[in-house]
Amino acid sequence: MKGLLAIVALIGVAAAQSGERSVWDGVYTDAQARQGEPLYRQNCGSCHGAGMEGGEEAPPLAGGAFLSNWSGLTVGDLFERMRTTMPLDRPGRLSRQDNADILAHMLSVNQFPTGKTELEHKTESLKQIRLEATKPDPR
């Protein structure tokens, strides 16, 4: 049993050292989410809804349907989708920082915890953050 516990501990340390994190680790700040709110309203809300509930042709960006679609992927995957395909009328016109701020607002609306550092705007870093619908068991 001690050997199994040691292996589990080593796996946890290796994951932490690899930089792999989850949205449950507080990957954005409250201030960044507040910065993203008006950007969301201005650039996303008309299609995705004021409350991120989705529209006729736009999927929801909050709640169960959104989380089930994105759970298991990375924040980087979502960031790249946003960056290259949105807003629909002019894809790619928002800066990386604007997209990161909007994404922080989305994480906030989905009730993921805040942290002490802003969500980065580099895809490589964001690919190290897993989107998980439910909080992982700390065991």
- Helix-helix angle 75-85:96-109, to 10 degrees: 130
Q: What gap in Å lies between CA 8 and CA 75, rounded to an integer?
A: 25
Q: What is the pTM of this model?
A: 0.85
Is 1 a domain residue? no
Q: What gap in Å lies between CA 108 and CA 103, rounded to an integer?
A: 9
Neighbouring C-beta atoms of residue 75, cutoff 10 Å: 29
Is 7 a domain residue? no
Range of the domain at 36: 22-130
CB 101 within 8 A of CB 44: no
Buried b (16+ CB within 10 A) or exposed e, 27-55: bbbeebbebbbebbeebbbebbeeebebe
Question: What pLDDT score does 14 carry?
Answer: 39
Is 39 a domain residue? yes
What is the residue-level pLDDT of the chain in tens, covering all 139 positions? 444 333 333 344 334 444 689 999 999 999 999 999 999 999 999 999 999 999 999 999 999 999 999 999 999 999 999 999 999 999 999 999 999 999 999 999 999 999 999 999 999 999 999 999 999 887 6
Is 2 a domain residue? no
Is 120 a domain residue? yes
Is 16 a domain residue? no
Q: What is the CATH number of the domain that holds 80?
A: 1.10.760.10
Question: What pLDDT score does 19 carry?
Answer: 66
Is 54 a domain residue? yes
Q: Is 16 exposed, middle or buried (0-12, 13-18, 19+ CB in 10 A)?
A: exposed
Is 6 a domain residue? no
How many separate domains does the chain show? 1
